[in-house]
Structure 1
Amino acid sequence: MADPGWPWAEPDIPSAAENQLAAACARLFAGADGQLLLSHLTRTFLGSSPGPDVTEARLRHLEGQRALVLTLRHMAVRGGLSLPPILA
Structure 2
Amino acid sequence: MSNSSDPGWGWFEKAMSEEITGEAGEDVPARFARCFSGVDGEAALSHLAEMTLARPLGANAHNGILRHLEGQRYLVSYIMGLVRQGREGK
Give the TM-score taking structure 2 as reference length. Answer: 0.70
Structure 1 stretches (4+) deviating beyond 3 angstroms?
A: 15-19
Identity in percent: 33
Count how many residue pairs are aligned between Structure 1 and Structure 2: 73
Matched, 1:21 2:28: yes
TM-aligned CA deviation for residue 15 of structure 1: 4.7
CA distance in 1, matches of 2:57, 2:77: 18
Gaps of 5+ in 2: 1-12
Give the TM-score taking structure 1 as reference length. Answer: 0.72
The one of 6, 27, 46 aligned to 1:39:
46
Deviations 1:21-53 (Å, cap 9, x if unpaired)?
A: 110000111111111110000111100110000
Gaps of 5+ in 1: 1-8, 82-88
CA distance in 2, matches of 1:77, 1:19: 17
